Structure 1
């Protein structure tokens, strides 16, 4: 890994960030809540951010088209499809394992139905319950007209309830809350390790150094994620509640989307995600303060001959902890040996005092 290569890549990234050209994310620009943190990190000589997301609530429809691929990480993602002729979507054999089903779905394209980088605004004048369709309109966006609620399914005549296993093998819609994620390139493995320790100390427990032969990359992630299936589109091989399009032999963009949870449960998911949004913002603030104090502050102090570069403050890495434990162990062993010698000396003095004085 070359330092010159890191410096040239960092320069190119900073030029792109300061330009008016949209980036590769769906929004085309950096999330505003992340700007102070990104500026702080990129100011340091050893780091540069490569992608980011401040956090989002979204609903995602799995893809089944063979000609489409999903490029979906925990940050902002792009969904690309190949133009041209595509194979018809296929169902799964009855004996197909759920692991194989999930792997197949992840390898094919999908559709974002709703994405928000802010908490969902709950309308105070809307009623809660089966009649409250605003949740469907919000979470399913342009496909809201295809959604059939559980209450509507129960009202359908001659409805056939699909088995749970059939739902799992169907085309699923997921409700997701995804917290802040940062991808960062470090100049050296040592600097990456230092940044990782600050991240873990700030609560980003899912963070780690990514394996790469050419770069030293970090992914900074927390455990605030929420991911739940909420609806499905049956495959032709599964039975589903009867509808005007259920006789079709293949799924299409006009097939119904069947909710597998109640509207009340969807509202609970939204409220939980809004709470996680606030926790996510608070965690970002703590992270920014720690980096300012220990990372940038330490670098500036070392340049002035103050705090030594690499001082860890309230935290210590694995090597420092090992050295401290070794030093403390030696100190305890030395203290124990001194105590044993002292006791032996005292016992010897007592024995001498107890010996009778010989008569003359």
Structure 2
């Protein structure tokens, strides 16, 4: 365990226990994740660096060239790490994005700025009032938040003659509906500790988890497949934003923001919300199972006295080298004792059978 890991963990734990807001816009750890985070951080080999318990959100990607020096809008996920960790995570993310051309295109778009229109870390409650018009307005107001006044339904777009060809949509500024399940970023003290944690994560259903490549430290990303990421609206290509047109005119007068055109029906948006609510419940259940597994297997034998981290035994228990050696020695002795007992019983039976066979001729002779 390096001094660097210990110092980083100490700094992170101090930040988590302070009243100072963390780097996320929310400013604090998601409450459903607190038991899991405390459990992990109490282990000497691990510390959480960022987290999110799960969320439903809509995101307007950025396309403004003038903001190319800025990053995408700050992620609404708790980040208790240092700036050095943030920079490292950014480089890791870029490395993954470069693996596919589509990911590279999406990354390039997001690098030009964007806007979170709606974020909820809880399932969405539908209104109790019924009515087509009421539900329509509720869905638009909920998912598009401050930009709801700019939204045009798919039917209205068709009637107004807006170009709705797929080619036009894909080249436009898009709005995405997202459900994102729990995610944890964890620094491990050693590669062996990271591998152990990863094994339990995969077993608990977090199939998208992995050890992130980093030359400075051993980082883990714990993620599941409970995800929705669907484009639902667009701003037609070539429509300038209000900031651009205002600067160009030089008059200082603001022009109306371009319309956001839905590319799906309101019924489809409602279905996405309902699916996300279902995935929220699955996400919470998965988190509970994960926490229980960590308690039963990975963390049950943890101690804070600096003793060596135990390794996986043949039956799933955790033990260090000496404990494994002692267990194997005991198992060997037990096998020897069992073999000796079986051999002794076999010899006793053989002796008894031989004695009986020798006694039978004597009995015959006596009768004659």
- Compute the TM-score of the two structures, normalised by the length of structure 1: 0.72
* Residues 1:25 and 1:98: Cα distance change in structure 2 (over 3 Å): closer
SS of the residue corresponding to residue 184 of structure 1 reads strand
Alignment map for 1:170-249 (pairs within 5 Å)? 170-236=172-238
Distance (whole Å) between structure 2 residues aligned to residue 21 and residue 55 of structure 1: 23
Distance (whole Å) between structure 2 residues aligned to residue 111 and residue 180 of structure 1: 21
Structure 1 segments unaligned to the other structure (5+ residues): 78-96, 239-245, 318-360
After TM superposition, give the deviation of residue 186 of structure 1 in Å. 0.4
Distance (whole Å) between structure 1 residues aligned to residue 192 and residue 291 of structure 2: 20
Distance (whole Å) between structure 1 residues aligned to residue 317 and residue 27 of structure 2: 38
Distance (whole Å) between structure 1 residues aligned to residue 173 and residue 132 of structure 2: 28
SS of the residue corresponding to residue 312 of structure 2 reads coil
> Is the 2:28–2:78 contact (alpha carbons within 8 Å) kept by the matching residues of 1?
no
After TM superposition, give the deviation of residue 128 of structure 1 in Å. 4.3
After TM superposition, give the deviation of residue 127 of structure 1 in Å. 2.5
* 2:273 match: 270
Query: Once superposed, what is the RMSD of the aligned Cα atoms?
Result: 3.1
Alignment map for 1:107-186 (pairs within 5 Å)? 107-128=111-132, 132-156=136-160, 159-186=161-188
Distance (whole Å) between structure 1 residues aligned to residue 184 and residue 32 of structure 2: 13
* Residues 1:181 and 1:28: Cα distance change in structure 2 (over 3 Å): same
> Is the 1:101–1:169 contact (alpha carbons within 8 Å) kept by the matching residues of 2?
no
* 2:51 match: 52
After TM superposition, give the deviation of residue 273 of structure 1 in Å. 0.2
* 1:64 match: 63
> Is the 1:126–1:132 contact (alpha carbons within 8 Å) kept by the matching residues of 2?
no
SS of the residue corresponding to residue 69 of structure 1 reads coil
Distance (whole Å) between structure 1 residues aligned to residue 112 and residue 216 of structure 2: 29
* 1:357 match: none
After TM superposition, give the deviation of residue 136 of structure 1 in Å. 0.1
Distance (whole Å) between structure 1 residues aligned to residue 152 and residue 315 of structure 2: 54
Equivalences, count: 282
> Is structure 2 residue 312 aligned with structure 1 residue 311?
yes
Distance (whole Å) between structure 2 residues aligned to residue 234 and residue 171 of structure 1: 7
Distance (whole Å) between structure 2 residues aligned to residue 284 and residue 99 of structure 1: 28
> Is the 2:56–2:276 contact (alpha carbons within 8 Å) kept by the matching residues of 1?
yes
After TM superposition, give the deviation of residue 130 of structure 1 in Å. 9.0
Alignment map for 1:275-314 (pairs within 5 Å)? 275-299=278-302, 309-311=310-312
Structure 2 segments unaligned to the other structure (5+ residues): 80-100, 250-254, 319-368
Greater Cα shift, 131-140 or 193-202 = 131-140
> Which digits, 9 at most, give the CA deviation of each residue in 1:233-273, with x for residues without a partner?
011189xxxxxxx9xx99x8710000000000000000000
> Is the 2:24–2:75 contact (alpha carbons within 8 Å) kept by the matching residues of 1?
no
* 2:34 match: 35
After TM superposition, give the deviation of residue 316 of structure 1 in Å. 9.6
> Which structure has the larger Rg?
2
After TM superposition, give the deviation of residue 126 of structure 1 in Å. 2.9
* Residues 1:178 and 1:136: Cα distance change in structure 2 (over 3 Å): same
> Is the 2:25–2:74 contact (alpha carbons within 8 Å) kept by the matching residues of 1?
no
> Is structure 2 residue 254 aligned with structure 1 residue 256?
no
> Which digits, 9 at most, give the CA deviation of each residue in 1:264-316, with x for residues without a partner?
0000000000000000000000000000011111325x98x9xx922357659
Distance (whole Å) between structure 2 residues aligned to residue 291 and residue 123 of structure 1: 38
Distance (whole Å) between structure 1 residues aligned to residue 122 and residue 210 of structure 2: 26
Distance (whole Å) between structure 2 residues aligned to residue 102 and residue 197 of structure 1: 31
> Is the 2:72–2:112 contact (alpha carbons within 8 Å) kept by the matching residues of 1?
yes
> Is the 1:74–1:178 contact (alpha carbons within 8 Å) kept by the matching residues of 2?
no
